[in-house]
Amino acid sequence: MKSLLLVGLLFTSGAEARMPEPPRGLDLHMPLPEDNPVSREKVVLGRKLFFDKRLSRDGTLACATCHDPRRAFSDGRVVARGTGGAEGARNSPAIVNRGYGSAFFWDGRAPTLERQVLEPIFSQKELGLTRPELERRTGLGAAHVAAALASYVRTIHSGGSRFDRYLAGRRDALTETERQGLALFRGKGNCVSCHVGPNFTDEQFHNTGVAWRDGRYADDGRHAITQRAGDRGAFKTPTLREVARTAPYMHDGSLATLEDVVEFCSNGGRANPNLDAEIRRVNLTAEEKRAIVAFLQALTGSVREGWR
């Protein structure tokens, strides 16, 4: 507790140590908010808080419970589990490379990481603290907790996969099957309509039909935030970095394996009134499906975190 209070003084006093080098994994081109510049102190404090079970009501859970470094900062569950065994409605997404994100949560309700990191702490289905109790336990203002946690999350970085080595000119970094999978991913499979760019996400919201069950939406997704009819059943495109380590998949964890995901997409998702225009049947062969799965597995790299 004393160490948290000591670091907290750096926030209240305005003292910020400027380091000559960024933490490992933090890209100098990563967008950073002007009101929360990264510093060693904030990252170190954020890491302490991320693993601190005092941030849960009953002292049994931490941020790292749902975002486990051993699982590429996901948890392997179908849906998140909170204090007292409470079950959430959605899968815990991997948070690698989230410093590049432009909206957070499956429905995009948080516009910044600083907003995102506090919501699970205050949710009664997750960590279950009140703002006064959080501040009492940490000796920090909630805004300072948010600044530190967001700074730490920005250091969680996945890279160095065999695909990255292939892009750098090492043609032998991918097998022939994986190269076929890449070509299908970019071509016939039309995966790049959503999973595009270095993080394999367009940071947008799409309706694939996963939430459409028995003639209705089991989860309204983005619509609950925007109230736009066309957003009903739409969810954030997740990164595919480390995807082989972050099963199960989709916002509700309903697809258990990468093979299930590729099959679902090959069949054009699930028909519903708001199905995204880019989600259509592509009729991949069994061999083509295996090749895409092999390529997705080649996106596994090394995950770095913290200031090291």
157: Cα within 13 Å, side-chain hemisphere: 22
CA distance linking residue 171 with residue 166, whole number of Å: 5
Dihedral of the CA atoms 128, 132, 134, 135 (nearest 10)? 170
Q: Tokens for 32?
A: 């950073």
Per-residue model confidence as pLDDT tens digits over 259-295: 999 999 999 999 999 999 999 999 999 999 999 999 9
Q: According to the model, what pLDDT value does residue 6 have?
A: 34
CATH 1.10.760.10 residue ranges of the chain are: 2-155, 159-302
Per-residue model confidence as pLDDT tens digits over 137-168: 999 999 999 999 999 999 999 999 999 999 99
Q: According to the model, what pLDDT value does residue 308 have?
A: 72
Q: According to the model, what pLDDT value does residue 137 have?
A: 98
Q: According to the model, what pLDDT value does residue 129 have?
A: 98
**Residue 93, preceding peptide bond in cis (omega within 30° of 0):** no
Q: Does residue 25 register a pLDDT over 70?
A: no
Per-residue model confidence as pLDDT tens digits over 70-120: 999 999 999 999 999 999 999 999 999 999 999 999 999 999 999 999 999
Domain 159-302, CATH number (from 1.20.1250.20, 3.40.50.1000, 1.10.760.10, 3.40.50.150): 1.10.760.10
Per-residue model confidence as pLDDT tens digits over 29-39: 788 999 999 99
Assign 24 a pLDDT band (cuts: 50, 70, 90). Answer: low
> Which class is domain 2-155?
mainly alpha
Per-residue model confidence as pLDDT tens digits over 168-227: 999 999 999 999 999 999 999 999 999 999 999 999 999 999 999 999 999 999 999 999
Q: According to the model, what pLDDT value does residue 17 have?
A: 33
Q: According to the model, what pLDDT value does residue 16 have?
A: 34
Compare 21 and 210 and report the one with higher pLDDT.
210
CA distance linking residue 124 with residue 107, whole number of Å: 18
Per-residue model confidence as pLDDT tens digits over 115-143: 999 999 999 999 999 999 999 999 999 99
Q: According to the model, what pLDDT value does residue 110 have?
A: 98
Adjacent-strand bridge partners of 303: 158
Assign 9 a pLDDT band (cuts: 50, 70, 90). Answer: very low
Assign 21 a pLDDT band (cuts: 50, 70, 90). Answer: low
Other C-beta atoms within 10 Å of 268: how many?
Answer: 15
Q: Report the residue count for the chain.
A: 308
